Amino acid sequence: MNALDSFVSDPRIRVRRDDKPSARPRCVVYWMQRSQRGRENPALNVAIDAANALGLPLAVHFGLHPRYPRANARHYAFLLDGIPEAARHVEARGAAFVFRPYPHHSLLRFCEEVAPALVVGDENPLREPESWRDGAARNLRVPFWTVDSDVIVPSCHFDREEYAARTLRPKIRKLLRRYLKPLGRPRCKAAFARSDRPRSAPFDARDLLTTLPLDRSAAPLRRVRGGRAAGLRTLRRFTTSALPRYHEDRNRPDLPGTSRLSAYLHFGQLGPHEVALAVRRARAPREARRAFLEELIVRRELAVNFVARNPRYDRVECGEPWALRTLTRHARDPRERIYSEKALEAGATSDRLWNAAQLEMVATGRMHGYLRMYWAKRLLDWTPTPADAYRVAVELNDRHELDGRDPNGYAGIAWAICGKHDRPWPPERPVLGFIRPMTASGAARKFDVDEYVASVGRAAAREGART
């Protein structure tokens, strides 16, 4: 493996299995999972460089598993929008893109077929994908590396759970010059002989969406397109229109003040490097660019650190000790009213602003960031225990948000409900104790609630939902 020795000192690379390569390797495999793009992808770059160092062709394997935890038809439709373009970009770099849907999605079986010298994967700190990477490391018979390609600063630099943005920010700042640079675009030097080239399954998104055994609890959206081209259009629109006022408008749900990039980042159709560099280059005031990069880099990578280092990230027990103490002390306080999960999902509460936010999420697959905080906190008033509030928040967020099932979601819910990355907010209040409160009257001072509610009605009508 001498040809590969120089790679493993790269902090972005984690050697999960340090094995001997097979006796007669035929290729290198990149197991594309989280970073669903053929450009601006550090994991793909490592796989191409390694294949070139070994003088082998590269096969990029994309196995479509229909029961990805908590994913439903809405998420799969967005994901499938991005596959043809990822395939084109991978092929343009000289590698073979091999799409294998269920029931032929197994990486191990694919590796038996193509006899790789090395398997390269990407990273995902969530529990289930991490367990799949562990399984691959146990069961593959060749070296297996993963590349931390969806963060700017590799998460290995932060080996403990960070307490707050203020503890992570200075560490990130020190490392940013080293990691926030344009990525290269290497090309494969060797290609498969025609007879050796692994076969890709035919791709028909509509057919896959109807025939795969998917969870159908949230339907695909009609007006939102996934994929890299759609993501880049969204990025361009943002940098030329809303970015200059981002620092002032991002907490105004009544205005189109934020980027709407989270789903493209969640599915890895865009990478954080290209977004950060585009914003750095954009013509916008320094405060605006700085405020955006704080969210994209510090807050987003704080969320990755939280999920990677706190195994209870999707349960209330992940909360800060002071927050769990205060919530326990108020566990028996009478709640404003208990709603069933069904009533909450239908947005049938007494709170007009909350109902509009819930409708926005169900009908359009996104909720404005400011309202996500309010939305999650209100669940403490309407569910029997903080554990129930947390569980319902995770269920609804992950089911309906296009960007759901993401470290940002768990960190956001933990912040809102159990004090993660926050501090106590005296005076002590019923139910919340010292958890930071947010109220509808506070929201009304910040933005035009009537305009927001009306805009959700219009957006839901365009999507064809009942309002």
The contact set with ligand FAD (CB under 6 A) reads: 250, 258-262, 265-266, 295-296, 299-300, 303, 369, 372-373, 376, 397, 401, 403-404, 406, 408-409, 411-413, 415-416
Asked whether 249 and 242 are in contact (CB, 8 A), the reply is: yes
Which of 33/408 has CB closer to ligand FAD?
Answer: 408
In angstroms, the first-to-last Cα distance of the chain is 61
Asked whether 305 and 162 are in contact (CB, 8 A), the reply is: yes
State the minimum distance, in angstroms, from the CB of residue 221 to ligand FAD: 15
Which of 45/305 has CB closer to ligand FAD?
Answer: 305
Asked whether 409 and 70 are in contact (CB, 8 A), the reply is: no
Which of 14/75 has CB closer to ligand FAD?
Answer: 75
Q: How far apart are CA 211 and CA 236, in angstroms?
A: 35
State the minimum distance, in angstroms, from the CB of residue 11 to ligand FAD: 22
Q: How far apart are CA 201 and CA 67, in angstroms?
A: 19
Closest alpha carbon to 141 in 1, 30, 22, 47:
22
Q: How far apart are CA 400 and CA 416, in angstroms?
A: 18
Which of 100/300 has CB closer to ligand FAD?
Answer: 300
Closest alpha carbon to 293 in 455, 209, 169, 193:
169
**CA separation, residue 465 to residues 23, 76, 449 (Å):** 58, 20, 21
State the minimum distance, in angstroms, from the CB of residue 140 to ligand FAD: 31
Q: Which helix (H) or strand (E) holds 235?
A: helix 228-240
Q: How far apart are CA 155 and CA 24, in angstroms?
A: 34
State the minimum distance, in angstroms, from the CB of residue 58 to ligand FAD: 29
Which of 295/336 has CB closer to ligand FAD?
Answer: 295
3-state secondary structure at position 15: strand
State the minimum distance, in angstroms, from the CB of residue 346 to ligand FAD: 19
State the minimum distance, in angstroms, from the CB of residue 23 to ligand FAD: 44
Q: How far apart are CA 79 and CA 62, in angstroms?
A: 12
State the minimum distance, in angstroms, from the CB of residue 339 to ligand FAD: 17
Which of 80/373 has CB closer to ligand FAD?
Answer: 373
State the minimum distance, in angstroms, from the CB of residue 384 to ligand FAD: 19
Residue 433 is classified by DSSP as B
Which of 269/397 has CB closer to ligand FAD?
Answer: 397
State the minimum distance, in angstroms, from the CB of residue 260 to ligand FAD: 4
Q: How far apart are CA 366 and CA 35, in angstroms?
A: 21
Asked whether 1 and 143 are in contact (CB, 8 A), the reply is: yes
Closest alpha carbon to 82 in 201, 194, 228, 241:
228
Which of 136/413 has CB closer to ligand FAD?
Answer: 413
Which of 61/266 has CB closer to ligand FAD?
Answer: 266
Residue 401 burial (CB < 10 Å; 0-12/13-18/19+)? buried
Q: Whose CB is nearest to ligand FAD?
A: 412
**What ranges make up the beta strands (E) of 310-349?**
none
State the minimum distance, in angstroms, from the CB of residue 225 to ligand FAD: 15
Tell me whether the omega of the peptide bond preceding residue 427 falls within 30 degrees of 0, making it cis.
Answer: yes
